[in-house]
């Protein structure tokens, strides 16, 4: 049995590799995914397929480069908090950005059931201008 932190470590690996089949196995089929409303493409999505289409695949349309550099994993029982920073380069504006962020994941029965993002969106929007 994996710990919640191990599950979230694996989630970041599949993000990076764009292994959407593995993403669907890690997440509950009705995962609640909430990104800052001010985040590009931000909002709420229900279900792994909606997250793949509206979040992950949309990055490819706007960004030449996009990564999340992890600073720390924090175990809070059913919740795993991941602090770090987004780094990227906007495709058409050709500007770079760095934005501090925290991700809160809720894990139940070895599946990710919820995600909540908190980040400074201003540097991201500045890179798009």
Domain ranges of the chain: 4-128
- Predicted model pTM: 0.92
Q: What pLDDT is attached to residue 1?
A: 64
Q: What pLDDT is attached to residue 61?
A: 75
pLDDT (tens digit per residue) in 72-117 = 999 999 999 999 999 999 998 999 999 999 999 999 999 999 999 9
Looking at the DSSP bridge assignments, the partners of residue 75 are 80
What rounded mean pLDDT belongs to the chain? Answer: 93
Q: What CATH number has the domain spanning 4-128?
A: 3.10.450.50
For range 30-38, the mean pLDDT = 94
User: Is 59:39 a contact under the CB 8 Å cutoff?
Assistant: no
Q: Is 61 left (phi over 0), alpha (psi -120 to 50) or beta?
A: alpha
Q: What pLDDT is attached to residue 86?
A: 95
For range 13-23, the mean pLDDT = 94
Q: What are the angstrom distances between the C-alpha of 125 and each of 25, 39, 68, 72, 121?
A: 32, 8, 16, 25, 6
């Amino acid at each position: 049995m994996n710990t919640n932190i191990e599950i979230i470590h694996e989630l970041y690996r599949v993000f990076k590799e764009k292994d959407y089949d593995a993403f669907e196995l890690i997440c509950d089929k009705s995962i609640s995914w909430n990104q800052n409303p001010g985040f590009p493409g931000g909002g709420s999505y229900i279900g792994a397929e909606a997250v793949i289409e509206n979040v992950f695949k949309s990055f490819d349309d706007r960004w030449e480069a996009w990564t999340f550099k992890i600073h720390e994993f924090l175990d809070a029982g059913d919740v795993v908090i991941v602090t770090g920073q987004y780094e990227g380069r906007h495709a058409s504006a050709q500007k770079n950005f760095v934005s501090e962020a925290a991700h809160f994941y809720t894990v139940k029965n070895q599946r990710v059931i919820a995600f909540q993002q908190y980040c400074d969106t201003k540097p991201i929007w500045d890179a798009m201008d």
